[in-house]
Amino acid sequence: MKVAVVGATGLVGTVMLKVLEERNFPLTELIPVASEKSVGKLIKFKGKEYPIVSIETAIALAPEIAILSAGGSTSLEVAPRFAAVGTTVIDNSSAWRMDPTKKLIVPEVNAHVLTKEDKIIANPNCSTIQMVVALQPLHEKYKIKRVIVSTYQSVTGTGVKAVDQLMNERKGVDGPKAYPYEIDLNVLPHIDVFTDNGYTKEEMKMVKETNKIMGDDSIKVTATTVRIPVMGGHSESVNVEFENDFDLAEVRSILENAPGIVVVDDVANLKYPMPKDAHEKDEVFVGRLRRDESHDKALNMWIVADNLRKGAATNTVQIAEYLVQNKLV
């Protein structure tokens, strides 16, 4: 089982390697891939050193699985070339997510749709992943009509440059900027570029990806995505309108028994999910469960997850695990 990790030196790629190691993924050979300037450098994995190779070398080695975390333009060029040599690609960029011929997968929700013929598989947007993990079991029981979501997203979702900007601002140091404004002691209601309808691409990703992953275009979604000066994970305030009435105790029980979810909901003892608690964890944390008192069939909840893990690396590795367990590679 040869596994290539493309973008192995990046923020997400580094976490990919960590998650592969932690979860003891059954690979026999790691093929770390990065830019030409990194070729030849060594990466340590499970106590062994592996040299970084070029994309050309990795494709020639025809690995069983290639995990791509190197940006959309790279993926559009490279993923089909891997697929052509029989490699199954799991791509972490936005390049293939809305391609109608490609599956968009969150294992807890829709891994069952995967087949051996799926050679390019898309990993969803981080903010969408954590939301649909919590929505799916409730949709199965009560049928969701509409979702209103506001996100509070970590600077790690932008990358190293954004983390450096935040840390530099805290120290009073001038440096490269990832954002058009200061992020420390500030909130930016702006993630990705604005589109013609006044929403950002990030917001529209949450709308379209939710429908595709859950396989139901009747679910109406509206999103406001916000960048905040934290690290550790993304948080979301989610209001869900159901077609059928619900019992709050039953909602809690459904979520407690759903795969990949940890319910942290004890307001009497000030227990609720926070990014600090989700940091370096693979689960999706759900709390602040309460009825929407302005609507008789609506629920409010608060959802938190580590965006570099469940929102990216862990979800990707879980897809790879599913492929191996079900002999799809």
CATH number of residue 15's parent domain: 3.40.50.720
Q: How confident is the model at residue 93 (pLDDT cuts 50, 70, 90)?
A: very high
- Same structural domain for residues 49 and 184? no
CATH at residue 261? 3.30.360.10
Written as one letter, the residue type at 48 is K
234 is catalytic: yes
What's the CA gap between 292 and 121, in Å, rounded? 37
CB atoms within 10 A of CB 160: 13
Do 136 and 159 share a domain, yes or no?
A: yes
Q: Greatest CA separation found in the chain? A: 61
Q: What percent of the chain stands above pLDDT 90?
A: 98
Do 118 and 261 share a domain, yes or no?
A: no
Q: 126, 139, 279, 295: which is the annotated catalytic residue?
A: 126
- In whole angstroms, give the CA distance from residue 29 to residue 149: 41
- In sequence order, the β-bridge partners of residue 33 are 6, 53
Structural domain span for residue 252: 127-307
| 75: confidence class by pLDDT, cuts 50, 70, 90 | very high
pTM exceeds 0.85: yes
Q: Under the phi-then-psi rule, with left for phi > 0, alpha for psi from -120 to 50, and beta for the rest, what region is 115?
A: beta
The verdict on 117 and 143 lying in the same domain is no
183 in the same domain as 102 = no
pLDDT band at 11 (very low <50, low <70, confident <90, very high): confident
Same domain, residue pair 279 and 251: yes
- Same domain assignment for residues 162 and 287: yes
Q: Of 46, 80, 49, 63, which is closest to residue 5 (Cα–Cα)?
A: 63
Please identify which of the residues 112, 234, 279, 295 carries the catalytic annotation: 234
Give the Cα separation of 273 and 95 in Å (integer): 31
Q: Tell me: do 139 and 116 sit in the same domain.
A: no
**Do 119 and 134 fall into the same domain?**
no
